[in-house]
A and B are shown apart, each in its own frame.
Chain A
Amino acid sequence: MTARTMAPLAAIALLAVAAGCAGGDARPASDRQRMIELGRQHPTAAALFEALREQASGGQPLQWGALPDWSGVYTRARGGITYDPDQAPGQPPTARLTPEFEARLAERIRLADQGIEWDPISTCAPPGHPRWLTEPFLREFIVTPDQTWLINEMVNDIRRVYTDGRGHVPEEDRLPLYNGDSVGFWDGDRLIVHTNQLREGIYQRRNPDYTDQVETVEIWQKTDDGLLEVDVWVYDPPALVEPWYTRQSYAKLSDPDLRIRYWHCGENQNNSVFQTDDGATQFQDFTFTEADDANQGDER
């Protein structure tokens, strides 16, 4: 495709984004396809983010008296613990992987089918972004004019999105981070976010790996009173042949007494697991009784 033919397609896709494309899994397939095309038409996450910012004329600062109402406690609405909610059961992920990462995924699934599976969060590491989008626990979203906090209950995990006009930290200060460095702008009631400086990780169990070159662009929007939806493009040249587009969603829960509490991942010895020599997951010794505790004391 030439640059000349790409430009009109990009404009169409940007208009589709500007219109919001609400509807979640009920959207026509053509909407999803437009979003996929939008990712393809920008070579990097930074380029897509800048195009969206240009489309929004730089965005509009929020005012304290007119913040979007994202209050409430939410959880992931679709997808279970599969990264792409639109991945069909029993089918491979919708990402177009490079041969190396395709092979890695095939091996991961082959081993998991044999009961050999290890999740890097098993010893209390945070999931990291973009896996952060998938965890099935409670969520809160705190909007202020200068920052938006995207909170996952699990390990008290907060992504801070700076919307005060600052850019990413200078090159000389960059290092891989679990949740990376996120900057964004508001376009009406939509929050557009660019995240870089991420660590390598996995999208989920039985899902692909991503590298520390991964970057994302997200468009967050509350599409009705009970639903926040997010269009996500993941760019990761070593692992992905093209950007991986997905729509994630978070539903507001109806229980008014739900509260997010402190999450101490290491508080119970009975949750302690280790990776066996063959790569599988196994529990350490349990401490169900005083005798168990005493035995472990002897061993130590």
Chain B
Amino acid sequence: MTRIRGTLLLAAGLALAAVVTTPAHHSGAMFDETRTVTFEGVIREMQWTNPHSWLLVDVRGDDGTVTTWGFEAEGPSTLRRAGIRPSDLRAGAEITITGRPMKDGRTAALWVEAVLADGRKLDPRKGFEVR
């Protein structure tokens, strides 16, 4: 971990009703569909794996401690269909990411949307669009 800067921006009862968030490999019931969390952080690692990829983000809290959050998304080919490429998610890059958190309080979430430092938005679910 070379550089860490992160802040919890939001943890509220926001429902992004238009976003379908059911993982295609396992039930998504462990994620809280009624809430989203948004963090600014630094990419620790992107795991390009099937059936799901995981984006690990280091988030610095107000007290200075760093927590690693994992954001679950679909596999590499679906992410490519969403326009998300390996060059977008290099370790050390700053990112703002929103997800639906685990109900049990662990530091993992279903990735809903991310915004890169250049302002580009990454939505994994767009990978299921037919085009």
Write out the residue numbers on chain B whose beta carbons fall within 8 Å of the beta carbon of A264. Answer: 49-50
Q: Once A and B bind, how many residue pairs between them come within 8 Å at the CB atom?
A: 105
Give the CA-CA distance A260 to B81 in the complex, in Å.
Answer: 12
Q: Which residue of the partner chain, among A112, A138, A270, A286, contacts B29 with CB atoms under 8 Å?
A: A112
Give the CA-CA distance A233 to B24 in the complex, in Å.
Answer: 24
Cβ of B75 and Cβ of A75 under 8 Å apart? Answer: no
Given contacts A271-B25, A281-B27, are A265 and B50 in contact (CB under 8 A)? Answer: yes
- The 8 A-B pairs with the shortest beta carbon distances in the complex, nearest first, are A268-B49, A117-B27, A122-B26, A115-B29, A281-B27, A288-B68, A263-B50, A251-B130
Instruction: State whether the Cβ of B30 lies closer than 8 Å to any Cβ in chain A.
Output: yes
Instruction: State whether the Cβ of B52 lies closer than 8 Å to any Cβ in chain A.
Output: yes
Cβ of B131 and Cβ of A254 under 8 Å apart? Answer: yes
Given contacts A260-B77, A261-B76, are A282 and B52 in contact (CB under 8 A)? Answer: no
Write out the residue numbers on chain A whose beta carbons fall within 8 Å of the beta carbon of B26. Answer: 119, 121-122, 271, 273, 281
Nearest Cβ distance between residue A224 and chain B, in whole angstroms?
A: 14
**Interface membership of chain A positions 56-93, coded 1 if the CB is closer than 8 angstroms to chain B and 0 otherwise:** 00000000000000000001110011000000000000
**By DSSP majority rule, is chain A's interface helix, strand, loop, or mixed?**
loop
Give the CA-CA distance A122 to B29 in the complex, in Å.
Answer: 13
Q: Which residue of the partner chain, among B51, B56, B76, contacts A271 with CB atoms under 8 Å?
A: B51
Which residue of B has the minimal Cβ distance to A252? B130
Cβ of A286 and Cβ of B70 under 8 Å apart? Answer: yes
Write out the residue numbers on chain B whose beta carbons fall within 8 Å of the beta carbon of A117. Answer: 27, 29
Given contacts A81-B22, A263-B51, A268-B52, are A137 and B29 in contact (CB under 8 A)? Answer: no
Instruction: State whether the Cβ of B106 lies closer than 8 Å to any Cβ in chain A.
Output: yes
Q: Which of B32-80 contact A (CB under 8 A)?
A: 44, 47, 49-52, 54, 56, 68-70, 72, 75-78, 80
Q: Which residue of the partner chain, among B69, B77, B103, contacts A137 with CB atoms under 8 Å?
A: B77
Cβ of B29 and Cβ of A116 under 8 Å apart? Answer: yes
Q: Which residue of the partner chain, among A76, A119, A270, contacts B70 with CB atoms under 8 Å?
A: A270
Write out the residue numbers on chain A whose beta carbons fall within 8 Å of the beta carbon of B77. Answer: 137-138, 153, 258-261
Interface size class of chain A, counting residues whose CB lies under 8 Å from the partner chain: 35 or more
Cβ of B51 and Cβ of A154 under 8 Å apart? Answer: yes
* Seed contacts A267-B49, A271-B54, A283-B102; 18 additional CB < 8 Å A-B pairs: A75-B130, A77-B130, A80-B20, A119-B25, A119-B26, A136-B128, A137-B77, A205-B22, A251-B130, A261-B76, A265-B25, A270-B70, A271-B26, A281-B30, A283-B108, A286-B106, A288-B54, A288-B68
